[in-house]
Amino acid sequence: MSVIEEVKQRIDIAEVVSQYVKLTKSGRTFRGLCPFHSEKHPSFFIYPERQSWHCFGACNTGGDIFSFIMKKEGIDFGEALRLLAQRAGVSLPSRLEPSAKRDEQERLYQANEAATHYFHNLLLHSSAGEKTQSYVASRGLSLETITSFQLGFSPNSWEALKQYLLERGYTESELLTAGLVIETEAGGTHDRFRNRLMFPIYDIKGRITGFGARALDDSLPKYLNSPQTPIFDKSSSLYGINLAAAAIRQQNMVVMVEGYMDVITAHQNGFNNVVASMGTSVTEKQVSAVKRLTKNMALALDADAAGEEAMLRGVGYENTLDAEVKVIILPSGKDPDDVIKEDAKMWQNLLEEALPVVDYTFDMVTAKLDLTTAGDQRFAVERLGPIVLEIKDPVRYAHYVQKLARLAKVPERTIEATLSKIKTAHRAKEPKLEAIAQALRPVFSSPVEEYCLALLLQHPELKGYRQQPSAEYFQNSENREIFIAWQQASDLSSLKGELDPAIWEHLDYLLTKSLPPNQIEEKYTGTVLRLREGFLRGLATKGEAALALEAELGGTAAELAKLEEQGIEISLQLGEVFSQKSRRVRSKGAEK
């Protein structure tokens, strides 16, 4: 399956559109006020079964989720694909990045690299950096550690870094995009990081994607990060991954901590498989990022913060990793940095004693209960049941059903029955998106569209042909993109250049699709007619549905009349298609 198809399958059009338009469900459709023109009465429809949308008002146009996002966000197909892929959790292979974009990103990496160099030098070799140097020394960091993490010092100046980088040929707009400078209200820019200890954040390939920065005075926030940029996404970054990757692979285990200092101290003490989620709780994206290195993960959690919610997330990570997640419980109020510095042996022990997240949750919940009483037994099942239900691995699921049965002192089948009751109650309350998407999964491919495109692409002589489809006949955005590019391009290589690389796979498929050897023009004319017919039929059914709904909801006479008029227009055009078709059949007969 191509990434485009994968995105389409995972995205539910009604769900995405409802973020922009207030939708009301009505039968098998949703409707709302059209986001593309101004109106008082809703004429904008979503058809979940077809995963399409249509405006019967002033726009009188429609399409799939890609065309909706492109129109709504004012972006091109590639950008819409990236946006939706991110939403759908589909990762796009980097080879699909257009080369111009790659070049732009390369510049940002280089700007970050130059900034890192600048900050690092100031920390080690400037008088302004002396205070910071003594701070890191007081935290026990060796020169070797400072160098391997490339720690730095950003001076207390509005322009120092900016000037330094401008002199090296970076433009102000590149520095803005990299998040190194901030736009002021007056329209100028100034350095984002001032008077801070700088932690460059590397990706697994060793490229610097952004920065973390700790205030050295009372400035707030105490920790400041680079903003989201084309190369930095905090929620998928892991601090220290560049230095930890080899150890994670080797030990087949990753330890997740929260802070920069936790990682640095761990590494300085030889615990090299430690990375940080940078302040916030671990995200699914971060878990997916380490999955390529190991399936075994341990989360270092503060005893006070290790709530049930964190536990539930832990189970989610288990499902992502398809392996058990362990928790390292830190002494109350201490972070790994403190623990390791006080007693590295103790950290080692905590690692060895780490418990599987579900077992730990069982311990937490039952610690306060008296499991000889029926009330507490029931309570235990109620609290732990939903967590057990989240476990997707059948073997571990069965294991914890048994464990719960033992704890609550009831037969396993009683637990099973309770769990299935919880499950049903859960389902009824908030239907899982996955289930909705499954139920609404439409047919995504459009054989006629593809056949028509394959003919056009493989037979350049058709370009001059009288009968041409219109771009709107193509309901699939990738087909529409290819058709529009084909109209504009003079040859295949320029056509490819016009297209987003994500579409190349589909283009190659069309270029190599096997076609009948003869009567190409004949087949082409027929295909264009079929496309037109399909387009008009689609309009007609959508229009009928709109009309029925309008009547049902008590639409005004004028609105009903307008819809009806549109319906008549469509059927007239359809009639034209049919007469053309029958003419073709007749002339074929005459040839014989």
Work out whether the CA dihedral 118, 124, 125, 129 comes out positive or negative.
positive
Of 61 and 229, which CB lies nearer to Zn ion in the complex structure?
Answer: 61
User: Nearest approach, Cβ of 62 to Zn ion (angstroms)?
Assistant: 9
135 lines the binding site for Zn ion (CB under 5 A): no
Q: Are 580 and 73 in contact (CB under 8 A)?
A: no
Please give the full DSSP string across 306-328, using - where no structure is assigned: --HHHHHHHHHHHHHHTS-EEEE
Q: Smallest Cα–Cα separation from 246: which of 287, 206, 200, 210? A: 206
User: Nearest approach, Cβ of 56 to Zn ion (angstroms)?
Assistant: 8
Of 32 and 314, which CB lies nearer to Zn ion in the complex structure?
Answer: 32
Strand partners, 302: 330
User: Nearest approach, Cβ of 36 to Zn ion (angstroms)?
Assistant: 5
Of 58 and 471, which CB lies nearer to Zn ion in the complex structure?
Answer: 58
Q: What is the 3-state secondary structure (H, E, C) of 372-424?
A: CCHHHHHHHHHHHHHHHHHCCCHHHHHHHHHHHHHHHCCCHHHHHHHHHHHHH
Footprint of Zn ion on 19-58 (CB under 5 A): 34, 36-37, 55, 57
Of 62 and 210, which CB lies nearer to Zn ion in the complex structure?
Answer: 62
What's the token pair of residue 404?
């719960």
Of 17 and 256, which CB lies nearer to Zn ion in the complex structure?
Answer: 17
128 φ/ψ sector (left φ>0, alpha ψ -120 to 50, else beta): alpha
User: Nearest approach, Cβ of 534 to Zn ion (angstroms)?
Assistant: 22
Of 58 and 346, which CB lies nearer to Zn ion in the complex structure?
Answer: 58
Of 55 and 290, which CB lies nearer to Zn ion in the complex structure?
Answer: 55
User: Nearest approach, Cβ of 79 to Zn ion (angstroms)?
Assistant: 22
Of 9 and 61, which CB lies nearer to Zn ion in the complex structure?
Answer: 61
Footprint of Zn ion on 483-522 (CB under 5 A): none
Of 71 and 496, which CB lies nearer to Zn ion in the complex structure?
Answer: 71
Binding mask 349-388 for Zn ion (x = CB under 5 A): ----------------------------------------
User: Nearest approach, Cβ of 60 to Zn ion (angstroms)?
Assistant: 8
User: Nearest approach, Cβ of 43 to Zn ion (angstroms)?
Assistant: 7
Of 59 and 560, which CB lies nearer to Zn ion in the complex structure?
Answer: 59
User: Nearest approach, Cβ of 499 to Zn ion (angstroms)?
Assistant: 28
In b/e form, how buried is each residue of 124-159, taking b as 16+ CB within 10 angstroms?
Answer: beeeebeebbeebeeeebeeebbeebbbbbbbeebe
59 lines the binding site for Zn ion (CB under 5 A): yes
User: Nearest approach, Cβ of 475 to Zn ion (angstroms)?
Assistant: 17
Work out whether the CA dihedral 279, 284, 286, 290 comes out positive or negative.
positive
The one-letter amino acid at 231: I
Residues 6+ apart with CB under 8 A from 291: 320, 321
Of 54 and 214, which CB lies nearer to Zn ion in the complex structure?
Answer: 54
What's the token pair of residue 210?
């952004």
Q: Binders of Zn ion: how many residues, by CB under 5 A? A: 6
Binding mask 85-124 for Zn ion (x = CB under 5 A): ----------------------------------------
User: Nearest approach, Cβ of 538 to Zn ion (angstroms)?
Assistant: 17
Cα angle, residue 323 at apex, residues 321 and 327 outer, rounded to 5°: 95
What's the token pair of residue 265?
């101290």
Strand partners, 276: 239, 257
Query: Which strand ranges, in their side-by-side order, compose the sheet holding 274-276?
Result: 274-276, 254-257, 297-302, 325-330, 355-356
Q: Smallest Cα–Cα separation from 356: which of 391, 332, 330, 325? A: 325
Site of tokens 């190599």 = 512
Of 71 and 101, which CB lies nearer to Zn ion in the complex structure?
Answer: 71
In b/e form, how buried is each residue of 346-381, taking b as 16+ CB within 10 angstroms?
Answer: ebeebbeebbbbbebbbebbbeebeeeeeebbebbb
Strand partners, 197: 153, 214
Q: Are 244 and 274 in contact (CB under 8 A)?
A: yes
Of 37 and 406, which CB lies nearer to Zn ion in the complex structure?
Answer: 37
Q: Say how far apart CA 222 and CA 205 lie, in whole Å.
A: 28
The most distant pair of C-alpha atoms in the chain lies apart, rounded to whole Å, by 97
Q: Are 257 and 300 in contact (CB under 8 A)?
A: yes
User: Nearest approach, Cβ of 12 to Zn ion (angstroms)?
Assistant: 21
312 lines the binding site for Zn ion (CB under 5 A): no
Backbone angles phi, psi at 387, to 5 degrees: -70, -45
Of 36 and 504, which CB lies nearer to Zn ion in the complex structure?
Answer: 36
Please give the full DSSP string across 163-180, using - where no structure is assigned: HHHHHTT--HHHHHHTTS
User: Nearest approach, Cβ of 473 to Zn ion (angstroms)?
Assistant: 20
User: Nearest approach, Cβ of 386 to Zn ion (angstroms)?
Assistant: 43
User: Nearest approach, Cβ of 39 to Zn ion (angstroms)?
Assistant: 7
User: Nearest approach, Cβ of 129 to Zn ion (angstroms)?
Assistant: 59
- Is there a cis peptide before residue 221, judged by omega within 30 degrees of 0? yes
Of 35 and 129, which CB lies nearer to Zn ion in the complex structure?
Answer: 35
Q: Which residues bind Zn ion (CB under 5 A)?
A: 34, 36-37, 55, 57, 59
